[in-house]
Amino acid sequence: RPVTVTKMTMQFSPNNGDFTFVSSSEAQELSGTISTPDVKLNMGADGGRDPYATTFLRQRGYGWLLEVDDDDNEESKPLLEELDIDVKDIYYKIRCVLMPMPSLGFNRQVVRDNPDFWGPLAVVLFFSMISIYGQFRVVSWILTIWIFGSLTIFLLARVLGGEVSYGQVLGVIGYSLLPLIVIAPLLLVIGRFDVVSTLVKLFGVFWAAYSAASLLVGDEFKTKKPLLIYPIFLLYIYFLSLYTGV
């Protein structure tokens, strides 16, 4: 009995995402190109680095080299705060030095116990500027006398048993130049009167020496106070001679 086979053509074209299935009879009519999509990997902070180098460093424990500190959120500090300059503190110390009498109620020990550098440096530079009269090379000499003169007072104080640091002596000696700055304009006016000018100079030196000695010469020196007060007095006489002799 003969069997008849009927040729059937089936078209099956389901859609599955980006692929389309067609029958073999329509395959000859298809044409096109396959494009590669851009694939970007999110590497976090290492996106701009070679992934092989990144993996190599991390496997060997050097991943910290790839870390980047994010400082964008940190607030920028003011310049005075960055330089550790407290204007109110400097102003208070200036008042303590210019008015050394205990009856005025100032806590003068803050000049010694809380030393700073910028305040005394500003005072010494200002004293240098009013002393040089255009001879700017003298500024370095006055700064040198301030630094090494304070070092001499510091060494002498430690030998005598005083518990002071070099920073404290440097600050007190620098701030105590203020009385000499105060009398400087008076000397310009009364310079022609020798007797009055000499009295004003002595007053300024005693003022400066007393202000410094009352802070540096404590009770620990006992009977040795004159041994430290005298070199402080001589140091301010030398400072005054730099002003009047330049």
Report the 10 Å Cβ neighbour count for 66. 14
pLDDT at 206: 92
Distance between CA atoms of 16 and 223, rounded to whole angstroms?
105
Give the type of residue at 127.
F
Q: What's the token pair of residue 155? A: 């060494």
What is the CA angle 90-91-94, rounded to 5?
85
Question: Measured in whole angstroms, how far is the alpha carbon of residue 13 from the centre of its chain?
Answer: 76
pLDDT at 151: 93
Three-class DSSP category at 189: helix
Distance between CA atoms of 199 and 196, rounded to whole angstroms?
5
pLDDT in tens, 60-79: 665 655 665 555 445 566 76
Distance between CA atoms of 216 and 85, rounded to whole angstroms?
23
pLDDT at 129: 83
pLDDT at 192: 80
Each of the 246 residues of the chain gets a pLDDT tens digit; together they read 554 444 444 444 455 555 555 555 555 555 555 555 554 444 444 444 556 667 766 776 656 556 655 554 455 667 666 667 788 888 888 888 888 877 777 778 888 888 888 888 888 888 888 877 656 667 788 888 899 999 999 998 888 877 888 988 999 999 999 999 888 888 888 878 888 888 999 999 999 998 888 888 877 666 777 888 889 999 999 888 877 664
pLDDT at 134: 52
As to burial, measured by CB atoms within 10 angstroms (0-12 exposed, 13-18 middle, 19+ buried), residue 107 is: exposed
